[in-house]
Structure 1
Amino acid sequence: MDPLEDVLSLLQVSSYLSCGMSAGGRWAVAFPPPAGLKFNAVRRGDCWLRVDGLPDPVRLHEGDCFVLTRPRPFTLASDLALPAEPAHPLFAAAGDGVARAGEGDEAFLIGGGFDFVGRARELLLDDLPPVLHVSASTPEAATVRWAVGEIDVELRRRPMGGTLVAEHLALVMLIRILRLHLERDPGRTAGWLAGLADPTVAAALRGMHARPAHPWTVAELARAAAVSRSTLAARFKDVVGKGPLEYLTHWRVELAAERIRRGETLATVARSVGYGSESAFSVAFKRTMGCSPRAYRSRLAHGS
């Protein structure tokens, strides 16, 4: 079982595409904080990206794309010294599907984002840097450029089912950006994402994700990773930030929360994630989520 696929499925990741943006001359556009992940790709021209809270702006060239992983305001501009106009009126007026900034069309960007169900920030986003920038000059980014190019084609030509195809391509792009990030700079990533890039830790993660209800021991996970018990325990803690059995408890609780959202009984949920009794399950759930399974279900019912 692929842990990345597991988590993306659990979060029920869905993508959406926004209007394209054409810009020219001297221009600057300010965007509000995104709710989930936000991406833009430069199909023509160059511009600057400035994200609130980050010390340095990023120069974007034709073929570059970026993903914002934090709910922070950001600005796209030809010149960051210019006063930025708010994005909403520009995109609200985009009757032909293209928002326009400045004068001319030297730059053209496509964009969109990803929404999540569940505790996305802790599971996925907290382990990522605030900005994932993929440069067109990076040879390994060819598959990302391919996905962006196909999204652009679907949006411009508007064939039958084009929006749905583009949204699926955006999810492909996200997975490939995450892969590229892990391959290129694993040292900057923490948590289970970093574990996917570590051969020893990844073997243990795959085992736990394949059989989350199995009564795993550290010794058994170490055998799956072909290392000693002490080596696995130390490596897992160093890379992921928690021990393997603590991680297993957290993952079981995440699976349980998703099953509770689907309306399954607590007894069924407890058994499905490896607990022999509701009481043992309730203790683990409350320690991880801060509330009992019954309280969690009640909050869902009341929309809180």
Structure 2
Amino acid sequence: VHNGGEDGAPVDDMITYNYSLSADGNSMDITIQGFNSGVPEAEWIFKMVNSQWEPTYEDINITFNLDMSGAESINSEGISIAGGNLFGVPGENQMTDEDGDNIYTTTITVPANSGSDYTFINGVSDWGQKENIAGQECAVDPYNDRTIEWGTEDIVVNACFGICGDGICADLTPPTTVLVHFNVYAPGGPETVWATGSFEGWSGYGVAMTDPDGNGIYNGTIELSENFGDVEYKYTYGGWDVQTGATTGDWCDWYPDDTWDNFGFSVEEHDVYLPIFIWGGGCGQWYSDMAGRPWMIANEPGAIAVGPSMGSGEWWSNDEASLTDRACYFDDRYIFTW
């Protein structure tokens, strides 16, 4: 550092080394102050160990108990924990439910006095199976995972799949959520198309989208916390080899002044119905007079009617009072996919 001039001081200048020796004499920290024209600018730090000393490392056990009773379904291939710098990839640390109570358990040995992000996976094969805690208080950047730190004692973590907090699902209050509807027109696409984005850490997977009626329109939904805020997203075939996004700088580019071609939307207190973009078409949209737009029953007398023949409402029709008495009929939203 000094002889090569990296510290900004002439080679023939005196240099001061500061060192801190450990109590056992087997390690020390050495620091060198760097200068630029005589002004302190940077500091080099070197951690040294006695080459004849073999350090000992202490481990602890972390037991994870995951309640899956709140999940819509449980993957028959298994449940796992993954992520961060210590918990590996999906399937590497599988969890078991030996007594059939929907609480899956595993114990993992890790170095003491450390920490890591992590996430629970409803499956064992890919990141698209991870829980969605985006917008909740325990989600951390960049992937909306959980995080944990520990010292020298064994610890136990009790959790509910998809809900932040310490405890089983019955002990926790789920967040208020809205439903986001993803749609893309991709004729000839694979069995599954994915919506990936900032809401799940840009994994290349995220929301699985399928085309069950074979019309080329893939649909998928996800729940996000109310008032989640701005979301950027793209569509992929799974991973990043095949993807599609916005026309850079055009109206569908959520942040047109940056260099990324991401679609976007904002989550407030209502469900979100996204445009049906055409795969590979930038901001181009697939359009139908009916499909892809939210519809509601008109909030007016006669909007619902029953009769003996087409167009006849002589048996019954809603009146003015029903708009209040049966208000739940008039606030639902309907999506047509053809």
TM-score interval (norm. to shorter): under 0.3
Which TM-score applies when normalising by structure 1? 0.22
Higher percent of residues as helix: 1
The alignment's TM-score, normalised by the length of structure 2, stands at: 0.20
Greater strand fraction, Structure 1 or Structure 2:
2
